[in-house]
């Protein structure tokens, strides 16, 4: 398919054949497959189905010198030569221009079961989300929403708890899996609701989908995107709150819990010309926290321009130099998306 296809349009077209494109970035209605591949976009369902890279089988791309190359294959498995498909996926347009993609489609799940659980604290919700995986369940999605975000969406929602954990299981075993999840959450949650009705499920997920629009009403959101080992999720949540307090910068956090991918969102007064120093400092401490916990600067959004200054800290000098060497092997004159990523 051509790279300009809107992700949601692809998914709908697949739906006509009982299939779906598993990655579901929040931007699916606006973003293109080419953009998703260039940034190796994530989404809610990648908890179970992996990120964009895991659904890209092959690419056609134009190199810096104008040569057209094909990478990958049309099969699920294959190991002929180096994995250029994975190398181009997430390279942010700096290695080649993607002109066509072959993606993996998966059957639409026959059933889903969705749970919404409230907790007295965000840490408790984070611990509970970790316990789901430890109980042998790989949910299709597991989303955490903290109290300040709940309040921004609807004060009545915040009254139900200090954190919300949304979990969806899918497939023929969805109901059986949801039962296990409910048992795992019960001891620490203050309330757990389960539904197998798709409409009710959408209303449960609405809180998560409304998070960003709600924060945009409060000011200009700067969305961070760190990821940590899942066992450190509760610790990350605690530290982010301490950073927020120390700099007196409000930080609202949502997380793709099953991936350990946190979006701490700093909301800035729209009347200010730029980002205040305190916000920059808080953001810097959040990045440093991610690295200290064995994590990464960016779970799914990419480096772009904003995080360039931090890349060397994460990669270390040897890997950073090697990445630049790869860039030069692909693009010796630096014509492709200059100034981005590395």
Binders in 262-301 for its own copies, by CB under 8 A: 294-301
Q: Which of 248, 318, 333, 335 binds its own copies (CB under 8 A)?
A: 318
Cβ–Cβ under 8 Å, residues 68 and 103: no
Looking at residues 105 to 144 of the shown chain, list those that interact with its own copies (rule: CB under 8 A): 106-110, 133-138
Looking at the Cβ atoms of 189 and 297, the one nearer to its own copies is 297
Q: For residue 146, what are its two tokens? A: 């903290």
Q: For residue 8, what are its two tokens? A: 């949601």
Torsion of CA 237, 238, 240, 245, to 10 degrees: 140
Shortest separation between residue 274's beta carbon and its own copies, angstroms:
25
Residue from 261, 270, 163 nearest 216 by CA: 270
Choices 26-34, 242-250, 274-282, 307-315 (CB under 8 A): range interacting with its own copies: 307-315
Shortest separation between residue 311's beta carbon and its own copies, angstroms:
6
Looking at the Cβ atoms of 178 and 267, the one nearer to its own copies is 178
Check residue 228 and give left, alpha or beta (phi > 0: left; psi -120 to 50: alpha).
beta
Q: Which of 89, 112, 194, 244 binds its own copies (CB under 8 A)?
A: 89
Q: Which of 55, 71, 244, 253 binds its own copies (CB under 8 A)?
A: 71
Q: Which of 46, 150, 152, 201 binds its own copies (CB under 8 A)?
A: 46
Residue 328 binds its own copies, judged by CB under 8 A: yes
Q: Which of 4, 229, 338, 339 binds its own copies (CB under 8 A)?
A: 229
- SS3 label, residue 78: coil
- List alpha helices for the chain, DSSP H: 7-15, 33-39, 46-49, 84-88, 122-134, 147-153, 155-159, 174-185, 198-218, 233-247, 277-292, 308-315, 317-330
Looking at the Cβ atoms of 153 and 174, the one nearer to its own copies is 174
Looking at residues 161 to 200 of the shown chain, list those that interact with its own copies (rule: CB under 8 A): 169, 171-177, 179-180
């Amino acid at each position: 398919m051509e790279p300009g296809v809107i992700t949601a349009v692809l998914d709908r077209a697949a739906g006509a054949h009982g299939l779906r494109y598993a990655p579901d970035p929040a931007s699916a209605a606006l973003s293109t497959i080419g953009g998703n591949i260039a940034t190796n976009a994530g989404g809610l369902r990648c908890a179970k189905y992996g990120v964009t890279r895991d659904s890209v089988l092959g690419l056609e791309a134009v190199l810096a010198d104008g040569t057209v190359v094909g990478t990958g294959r049309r099969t699920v498995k294959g190991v002929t030569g180096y994995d250029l498909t994975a190398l181009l996926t997430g390279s942010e347009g700096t290695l080649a221009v993607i002109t066509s993609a072959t993606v993996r489609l998966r059957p639409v799940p026959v059933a889903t079961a969705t749970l919404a659980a409230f907790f007295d604290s965000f840490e408790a919700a984070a611990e509970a989300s970790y316990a789901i995986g430890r109980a042998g369940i790989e949910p299709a999605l597991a989303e955490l929403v903290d109290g300040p975000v709940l309040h921004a969406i609807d004060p009545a929602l915040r009254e139900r708890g200090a954190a919300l954990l949304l979990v969806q299981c899918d497939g023929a075993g969805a109901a059986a899996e949801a039962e296990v999840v409910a048992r795992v959450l019960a001891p620490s949650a203050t309330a757990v609701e389960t539904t197998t009705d798709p409409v009710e499920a959408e209303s449960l997920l609405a809180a998560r989908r409304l998070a960003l629009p709600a924060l945009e009403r409060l000011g200009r959101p700067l969305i961070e995107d760190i990821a940590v080992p899942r066992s450190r999720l509760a610790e990350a949540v605690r530290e982010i709150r301490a950073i927020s307090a120390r700099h007196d910068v409000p930080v609202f956090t949502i997380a793709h819990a099953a991936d350990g991918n946190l979006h701490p969102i700093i909301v800035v007064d729209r009347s200010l010309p730029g980002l205040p120093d305190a916000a920059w400092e808080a953001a810097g401490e959040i990045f440093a926290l991610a690295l200290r916990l064995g994590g990464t600067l960016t779970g799914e959004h990419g480096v772009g321009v904003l995080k360039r200054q931090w890349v060397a800290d994460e990669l270390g000098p040897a890997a950073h130099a090697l990445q630049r060497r790869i860039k030069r092997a692909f693009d010796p004159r630096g014509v492709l998306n200059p100034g981005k990523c590395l």
